[in-house]
């Protein structure tokens, strides 16, 4: 389910809570308050920007794990608290007024990228980070210059890419790597490949980067294959986002199997990488094989049984 699936009920709740009427801005605020990807984004801002400045640079706040506290708060009376809050509100109003005056004549050289251009870039990237592949539903996305402006890069869409805030903060403005080809490669399919042209009716679960089917020749009941959408030879060639995706899928399928079949007491997880390792279909697939007590006389050694004489030790 995508974050956009909750937009309509959130808007209706906002209208129902305000005698049937609400402004666009208030509806937008209501949606924002439910958007976990944006909340996570501002948690990142809090910890790495404003919280760091107030704590380390100014010594106004203290941090204990995920909690901040205002130093000296217990010594303030109510009037002092209200005065400080009003001073903060005045500072916000002062900024918003200056921002409003300057908005109409901001230049590209100032670093401003219009919302229209941002939308074009994010849409081109299918609203995913072009480095790690994460969706905008899971993490806030930013539009980044491939060649940084301080190295002569332009604001043309050809020099812009979509990155999640984590990848963008690690990249900063020192790197001019173009990650768009990595994102494009997620769509690579090979004609005639069984797993690239899988019958959609066989798919039992899917996400952006991988899907799952039941094995056509199961070792045990509910033997499942987890397969990346991208045509890639084996597990060792997966990008990190694909590894994250298949690992998540393995957990989901495991939980589904355990919920349906209480006799399952273990699992074998494995992948064949290369012909000499037994791989017969040259498209990465991970086997998730449920195990049940007594399904073989002596299971000791597990996956070591790929070389029978080495299974027991």
Rounded to whole angstroms, the Cα distance separating 167 from 46 reads 17
- pLDDT score recorded for residue 72: 92
Q: Over 60: is that where the pLDDT of 165 sits?
A: yes
Read off the pLDDT of residues 268-290 as tens digits, 9 standing for 90 and up: 999 999 999 999 999 999 999 99
CATH 3.30.428.10 in the chain: give the residue spans: 200-297
The per-residue pLDDT for 221 is 95
pLDDT tens digits along 24-57: 888 888 888 887 777 877 888 888 889 989 999 9
Neighbour-count burial for 62-87, b at 16+ CB within 10 Å, e otherwise: eeeeeebeeeeeeeeeeeeeeeeeee
CATH classification of 200-297, choosing from 3.40.50.720, 3.30.428.10, 3.50.50.60, 3.20.20.70? 3.30.428.10
Residue 101 predicted with pLDDT over 70:
no
**Three-state DSSP class for residue 265:** strand
Q: Name the percent of the chain lying above pLDDT 90.
A: 36
């Amino acid at each position: 389910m995508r974050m956009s699936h909750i937009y309509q009920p959130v808007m209706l709740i906002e209208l129902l809570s305000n005698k049937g009427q609400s402004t666009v801005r208030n509806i937008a605020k209501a949606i924002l308050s439910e958007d976990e990807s944006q909340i996570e984004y501002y948690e990142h801002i809090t910890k790495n920007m404003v919280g760091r400045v107030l704590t380390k640079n100014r010594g106004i706040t203290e941090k204990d794990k995920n909690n901040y506290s205002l130093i000296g708060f217990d010594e303030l009376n109510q009037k002092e608290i209200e005065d400080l809050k009003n001073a903060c509100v005045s500072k916000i109003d002062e900024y918003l007024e200056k921002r409003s005056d300057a908005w109409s004549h901001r230049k590209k050289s100032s670093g401003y990228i219009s919302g229209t251009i941002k939308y074009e870039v994010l849409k081109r990237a299918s609203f995913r980070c072009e480095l790690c592949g994460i969706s905008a539903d899971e993490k806030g996305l930013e539009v980044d210059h491939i060649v940084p402006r301080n190295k002569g890069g332009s604001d043309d869409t050809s020099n812009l890419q979509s990155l999640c805030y984590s990848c963008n903060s690690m990249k900063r403005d020192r790197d001019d790597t173009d990650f768009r080809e990595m994102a494009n490669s997620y769509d690579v399919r090979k004609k005639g490949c069984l797993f690239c042209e899988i019958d959609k009716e066989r798919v039992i679960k899917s996400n952006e980067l991988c899907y799952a089917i039941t094995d056509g020749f199961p070792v045990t009941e509910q033997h499942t294959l987890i397969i990346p959408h991208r045509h890639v030879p084996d597990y060792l060639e997966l990008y990190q986002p694909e590894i994250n995706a298949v690992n998540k899928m393995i957990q989901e399928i495991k939980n589904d199997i355990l919920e349906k079949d209480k006799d399952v007491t273990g699992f074998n997880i494995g992948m064949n990488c290369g012909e000499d390792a037994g791989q017969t279909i040259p498209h990465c697939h991970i086997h998730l094989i449920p195990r049940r007590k007594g399904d073989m006389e002596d299971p000791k050694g597990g996956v070591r049984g790929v070389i029978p004489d080495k299974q027991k030790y």
